[in-house]
Chain A
Amino acid sequence: MQVFNTACPRNCYSTCSFKVWVDDGKIIRIDPQPLNLATPEGACLKGLSYIERAHSKDRILYPLKKTGNDFERISWDEALDTISQKLQYYKKAYGCYSVLFYAASGMSGLLNGIGTNFWKLYGGATTVYGNLCWPAGLEATRLTLGDNKHNVPWDLENAKLIILWGKNPAETNIQQMIPIEKAQTKGARLVVIDPRRTASSERADLLLQPIPGTDGILALSIIKILIQKEQIDKRFINKHVLGFDDFAKSLKNINIEETSRECGIPVHFIEKLASWIGEAETMTLIPGYGMQRFSNGGQTIRCLLALQVITGHIGLPGSCWHYADLQGDIFSQPKEPENYYPPEKPDGIFRREIATARLGEQMLSTKNPELKMAWVERGNPLSQNPDSNKVREAFRKLEFRVVVEQFMTDTALEADIILPAKNMFEQSDLISCYWHPYIQLKQKVLEPAGEVKPETEIYYLLAKKLGFSEDEIRMNFPGLSDQEIDAWLEHQISGYPELSLDKLRQGPILSPMLQEIAFSDYHFPTPSGMIELYSTQAAKRWGVNPLPSYEKPIEGQQGESSMRFPFQLLSPNTKNRIHSQFGNLAVIKGITDEPYAQINFGDAAQKGIKSNDTIRVFNNRGEIRIKAKTDASLRPGCISIANGFWHQEGASPNSLSLGRETDMGHGTAFHDNLVDYEKWEPVQ
């Protein structure tokens, strides 16, 4: 029996460190790794569930070929022969751009970059730009502060006012509840702003439940009150902020009564929050990522960030704008969100012209050449990209699909060839995190199960089949042995004497670039060197107001389309999944219900719906049938269905969402999503 330090490579704030016990080729136990100060008590339920997941009987262990409606096991030789013949054929007949290379966030790690090397070597491919998750907020923050970073997670206990604005860490960043609780024992106030009453809000002092998509005007209204009451940090503003006067002037039409009507928050609650913010000694504002998945997401985040800026709560212990911390990402160049942009000038190799937000629509409409083949890895676009009916149509229209997967996801089911994907224990890799600033080594602790091969090896073998020269292969791929992989990883951190694989094997290491209190040097890498409330870049690049401003979401309850479909569909994440992963495991099934839609008692009563009734949720893009659960937690007029359920389970909310980009950053406006619903009675 051996114990290894490792870290969870999922697309999740917490990126937990843990110790994994391996006995006779099996993961038998997962223990906390207290050396990580952000996750000292250990991983969440999903992290623990690797004990099952690593050896799940449902895992895909061999290459599979579709035969009719089923899959049959084939040899690696046959799989790679078929794929390489297809690749050669499409390149010759239609050009490299007829192949779509789609990779998402299923597993993080530097070795993922090898895929890009392969497709460049192939001669290019069509890829996607943008991101499904967080770019609007990243871009809003980058435009304003110049960089995406925040104080170390454990500094949160020093805050006297914590505002969770559209974030539900109790489910999506569980360990953040540790410093929040500590801060509360020291007398901090906790405010939650969320249309849902979540587990994160149960210990809060105040919960505001705004109409989704209207957060921007709520922030502006509070800012106006603070300016009027002179509860702003003038010294800080004069020294570090660009465009404050213009911004203050732009608020002249903001009126608290109108705000109250627009966002559905009573005036006295807005005033109460404003007075708490005005009084706060230190304040940490923690926006979630859901709120920026609206067509006005970037501008909304700029409004919220303005609140943090004018009160001067930046660069101090207990005070920060807590959106994302990319200080641990010492590897990417350029960093997010800039690497989400399509290249201004095509590099002649990658044709990056499909927005991941509009994947289905653009896969269908792409011409010269049309798409013929897709290669999907680390992603499940058939459940997770918006307007998934269109995504499915686009995949079915292709001639040939390869999916690299661990499990039979919705996307894998559409494949012509499935290649078995490695799990996190079967290859070492380096990972960083966007919440805590640790660099971590995700160690190889198991030999790949069955005939599983890591993607690096798949690409290596495919390159050989395609007849690339030894030199090209050596330059682009790390080689197959563990030693070669380690050497490749060691090379990535060779610029940092603090880091080495040996040290990382002992546990997580703080980023060498770390500033524990972000912006404590008051260095803001914006064009002006100041915090830019007024951003020329914002106007130029994105065509938005150069100042933070409230725009109605295109498809929101306060807009015209709400006449046809009056309910706002929210599709949040839950503790039981990371997007569409983990839901298939027995331990997760052991604690979760089947898919359900959460609706408010009052709304349900009006439609004659009771808890556990089946309802039909629909709009002009699709429909799903799903069980209803009623309670008094969700704001009336909203309906909430957790994302991540598979279509196989009958309930991916992305059947209803539209492929639409956010106002900035090439994000995805999932929550601009109006629907209606009714009780569904099966026809006898």
Chain B
Amino acid sequence: MKNIFVFDENKCVACHACAVACMLENGIQENGLWRKLKYNDQQHRPNLPLFYLSMACNHCEDAPCMKNCPALAYHKDQTTGAILHNADKCIGCKYCTWTCPFDAPVFNRQRGIIEKCTFCNHRLEEGDVPACALSCPTGALAFQQKEFSREESRNSSPIPVDVGTQIEIIKLRNQDPPEIDASLFDGQEMSYEVPQCEAKISAKKELPLLLFTLISAGMVALYISGHTTHFNLAAKIGFLFIGLFSGLLSLFHLGRKGQAWRSLLNIQNSWLSREILFYTLFYGTVSFDFFVHPIPWLVSAIPGILFLFSIDMVYLPAQWQWKTRVHSALTLIIMLHSLFLLNSWVVLFTVFAILRILLFFYQNNRQIREKFIPVIIRVSTITFATILIHLTDSIALPIIVYVVGEIIDRIEFYNELKTPEWELQR
């Protein structure tokens, strides 16, 4: 027997009693509701049916929030199945808001931590029902204790994930919109927009992370290129200072910076913890190499590569709707390309440049018009850098041009990341 929500799309009229019941039970939620009403089409396009989905945490068996939390702030109540968040352990990294398919964790700006639906665990423990489900005045949202197989869960999930979502969704009997006189709305098609819910991730919001990841790719490339073996003391200190500085930058997005050490706790499951572990190992071994005793370059290179690989894995949950998971601005790709440039491997650099432009176009093909300027800059910088590297012996000028292009590509990378609630809003 499992505790599950049952939601009937035929009965919900978006009355918001569930959301209000939740607030009355768990407190006013100024930073975002724990239980939200999702609409498939806010614009009432004449040929589309409009239906609603009342969504909070679905207390997944393999909860992605819990698995990915670097600070082990989540746990599962083994009796009730509730996925619970522990405020004391939270570092406010917001990574769970990227990984949850249902947009359940809410970041509380004032407290700097995440809050979320508790399944009304305090009520479940007393044999009672969650407030939202008890209060639904049309009976659309209910709570049940029943057998609920993984397959049923997969079939019910409002977006295609297989994480043991504990909600059964009774689908619309009739998928048709009401028949209406669509001629009333003729000529309005240009006003219809792809629904724009506020993007959780964007280059602007995640500027510290953007810089951190770009710098990291560059530093690893520089180290692997072998140039650092010729560094004097000042250059070595500079190298480590930039590494440390970029690490500090990444702390900026934490709601609770003082708790940052907790981010290492979930090496077992979380790529975020691994990223921080390999970051530490990379710069640790490099420092040893620089200042204590030279060590074989692989000892640092391997953690460096794993560090970048972990960074790229961290962003995976927000790439679910991409055509290809291989983005031209992955840090590993940037690192490799930088390596070719730093070592003046002209042929490799050129081949890679062509491949990356193709990949860039493949990813952007739908938005080329909207992104005209970034596309032009991206293509021209990488082309120009390639031409320069063929024409001149110095790599200083190509590097400058190349870096501009990488910044643009990485900005696009962040802007293309979309957390899964976009699908729910559609």
Contacts and interface: CB of A to CB of B under 8 A. Distances in A.
Contact of B50 (A32, A202, A208): A202
B63 to A, nearest CB: 26
B180 A587 contact: no
B90 interface: no
Given A207-B180, A601-B191, A174 B28 contact: no
B139 interface: yes
B135 A32 contact: yes
Contacts of B44: 197, 631-633
Interface stretch (A132-140, A177-185, A295-303, A511-519): A177-185
Given A590-B30, A591-B33, A631-B43, A201 B13 contact: no
B358 interface: no
B240 to A, nearest CB: 48
Contacts of A209: 180-181, 184
Interface stretch (A45-53, A95-103, A105-113): A45-53
Interface in B101-160: 134-139
A44 interface: yes
A634 B312 CA distance: 46
Contact of A630 (B23, B137, B187, B191): B191
Given A177-B138, A586-B28, A631 B20 contact: no
A668 interface: no
A387 to B, nearest CB: 31
B139 to A, nearest CB: 5
A16 B135 CA distance: 12
Chain B CB within 10 Å, residue with most, of A48, A175, A197, A586: A48
Given A181-B11, A202-B49, A202-B178, A42 B137 contact: yes
Given A32-B134, A602-B185, A590 B23 contact: yes
A604 interface: yes
A184 B181 CA distance: 22
A568 interface: no
Contacts of A42: 17, 134-137
B178 A204 contact: yes
A266 B138 contact: no
Question: In which size bucket is the chain A interface?
Answer: 35 or more
A399 to B, nearest CB: 42
Nearest to A191: B178
B15 A170 contact: yes
A44 B137 contact: yes
A199 interface: yes
B42 interface: yes
Given A269-B181, A587-B24, A631-B43, A178 B13 contact: no
Interface string A11-51: 00000100000000000001110000001011111001101
Contacts of A604: 191
A605 interface: yes
A265 B179 CA distance: 13
A52 B134 CA distance: 18
A30 to B, nearest CB: 8
Given A205-B179, A209-B180, A45 B15 contact: yes
A199 to B, nearest CB: 5
A41 B139 contact: yes
Chain A CB within 10 Å, residue with most, of B11, B21, B137, B138: B137
B188 interface: yes
A203 B188 contact: no
B259 to A, nearest CB: 28
A228 B152 CA distance: 54
Interface in B173-199: 173-174, 177-181, 183-185, 187-188, 190-192
Interface residues of B, number: 45
A200 interface: yes
Given A48-B24, A601-B188, A206 B135 contact: no
B425 interface: no
B13 A41 contact: no
A192 interface: yes
Interface in A546-604: 575-576, 586-588, 590-591, 600-602, 604
A51 B11 contact: no
Contact of A207 (B14, B30, B51, B179): B179
A174 B15 contact: yes
Nearest to B186: A602
A594 to B, nearest CB: 15
A197 B11 CA distance: 17
A590 B28 contact: yes
B179 A591 contact: no
A587 B49 CA distance: 29
Contacts of A44: 15, 17, 137
A202 B51 contact: yes
A48 B17 contact: yes
Contacts of B42: 631
Contacts of A264: 184
A479 interface: no
Nearest to A585: B20
A591 B16 contact: yes
B46 interface: yes
A449 B11 CA distance: 39
B377 to A, nearest CB: 29
A32 B19 CA distance: 16
A575 B24 contact: no
Nearest to B20: A45
B45 interface: yes
Contacts of A265: 181
Contacts of B268: none
B29 interface: yes
A303 B16 CA distance: 35
Contacts of A206: 178-180
A174 B173 contact: no
Contacts of B191: 601-602, 604-605, 630, 632
A171 interface: yes
A658 B383 CA distance: 69
Contacts of B24: 48-49, 51-52, 587
B137 A175 contact: yes
A266 B180 CA distance: 10
B10 interface: yes
Interface in A443-486: none
A199 B20 contact: no
Contacts of B180: 197, 206-209
Contact of B178 (A32, A192, A635): A192
Interface in A182-227: 184-185, 192, 197, 199-209
Given A590-B33, A631-B43, A208 B181 contact: yes
A631 B42 CA distance: 8
Contact of B135 (A48, A185, A207): A48
B19 A591 contact: yes
A602 B187 contact: yes
Interface string B358-377: 00000000000000000000
A178 B13 CA distance: 10
B169 to A, nearest CB: 16
A115 B44 CA distance: 47
Interface in B44-85: 44-46, 49-51
B10 A181 contact: yes
A590 B10 contact: no
A618 B42 CA distance: 27
Given A48-B17, A48-B21, A209-B181, A632 B45 contact: yes
B110 to A, nearest CB: 15
Chain A CB within 10 Å, residue with most, of B45, B46, B138, B139: B138
B20 A48 contact: yes
Contacts of A199: 13-15
A209 B178 CA distance: 12
6 contacts: A31-B134, A32-B135, A197-B180, A202-B49, A602-B191, A631-B44
Interface of B: 10-11, 13-17, 19-21, 23-24, 28-30, 33, 42-46, 49-51, 134-139, 173-174, 177-181, 183-185, 187-188, 190-192
Closest 3 CB pairs of A and B: A633-B44, A170-B13, A601-B191
